[in-house]
Amino acid sequence: MDIHEYQAKERFRAAGIPVPPGEIATTPEQAESIAAQYGGMVVVKAQVHSGGRGKAGGVKLAKDASEAKEHATAILGMDIKGLTVEKVLVTPAEDIDTEAYVGVLVDRKKQAATFMVSAEGGVDIEAVATETPELIRKLTVDPRYGILPHQAFWLANFLYEDPALIKQASKIIGQLYTSFIESGSSMAEINPLITTPAGEVKAIDAKMSIDEPELFRRPEVEAMRDTSSEPASETKAREAGLSYVKLDGDVGCCVNGAGLAMATMDLVKYYGGEPANFLDIGGSSNPDKVVAALEIITSDPNVKSILFNIFGGITRCDDVANGIVEATRRIDIKPPIVIRLTGTNEEKALEILHEAGFSAYTSMDEVVEKAVQLAKGN
């Protein structure tokens, strides 16, 4: 789960990280009022779950409250990568001397948190990693001990030469790790971490992604979820208890079990197609889940065919079949549907499908190849 910049700053501030003040506005008038309270120059920043806000015109510097209102008027309602801006963060502008990057994320290969720091802040860190990897220093944290003081110092020393700045940055790195762990994060970053002419080190931008399985024991973080800033399909999938990830292909996939879903997607690519999604209906024998899955898949205009690949164990094939039939009654499904059902109550499922005018495959290769052909118009 992604959270907004202002929410990430709240988490950082709670851990002691020096973060400039800021308030949320949902109208231009609110933005003007907040800017007037701060006085002087402010920054008006779009709050959406997307990168590239600055390039899209979603981050503007305002010299006074009146200009803040103008910028908020332009930014609110703006579309940034398919997401509508419904709120802006108004925060005092800072005098910036240098910009650095500090981030920590879960390294799945090492199965531990890994820090990355660079003196090249305020830019796309992925580009720095690709083009000039020598400008990045990494450290894997032993989860038994957390980040130790000498490790934080080693990272901070890569960013600055001034002992006073190194001391401040070392403390912030430790605080960032604390926030990362306490929030159940998969990623937390400060970009940029600035120094000011007065010799202060501050986090003026914040980004944090929360590991979904951690949310059940962190209701205060779950409460930060903003469904208006995530695709409607993902919201619907979560509410229906489905595991769903939208992709860029045209073969809609509905499968039970994550392993089988991954194998199905691999096979789609093997036969020359591109999966439109990862969708795991899980082990529940609930026809309503199948209906919800089809509603989600058909909401994607890129889908040209729909592939069901069900291996019935806990999931009963007849329940899936009933769900498919019920969905076709409720929804106007235009893409052709190809089905493979095998396992628990397979014969009953085939009977249900045949009565509704559907046929089903037993071979995984055959059903996937057919779905790819249909997506290509063959």
Q: Which residues are catalytic?
A: 101, 189
Q: How far is CA 107 from the centre of its chain?
A: 16
Q: How far apart are CA 375 and CA 59, in angstroms?
A: 40
Q: How far apart are CA 305 and CA 307, in angstroms?
A: 7
Instruction: Kindly list the strands in the beta sheet with 305-312, ordered across the sheet, starting from the edge strand earlier in the chain.
Output: 243-246, 277-280, 251-255, 305-312, 337-343
The burial class, CB within 10 Å (0-12 / 13-18 / 19+), for 211 is: middle
Task: Work out the end-to-end distance of the chain between its first and last CA atoms, rounded to an integer number of angstroms.
Answer: 39
Cβ-Cβ contacts under 8 Å for 232 (sequence gap 6 or more)? 299
Q: Please, are residues 254 and 294 in contact by the beta-carbon 8 Å criterion?
A: yes
Q: How far apart are CA 67 and CA 31, in angstroms?
A: 10
Cβ-Cβ contacts under 8 Å for 44 (sequence gap 6 or more)? 31, 35, 59, 60, 62, 68, 71, 72, 75, 88, 89, 90
Q: How far apart are CA 250 and CA 271, in angstroms?
A: 13
Q: How far is CA 92 from the centre of its chain?
A: 28
User: Checking DSSP bridges between strand 201-203 and strand 185-195, what pairing results, if any?
Assistant: antiparallel
The CA distances from residue 106 to 139, 184, 371, in Å, are: 12, 11, 36
Half-sphere exposure of 79 (CA within 13 A, CB side): 2
Q: DSSP for 104-148?
A: EEEETTTTEEEEEEES--SS-HHHHHHH-GGGEEEEEPPTTT-S-
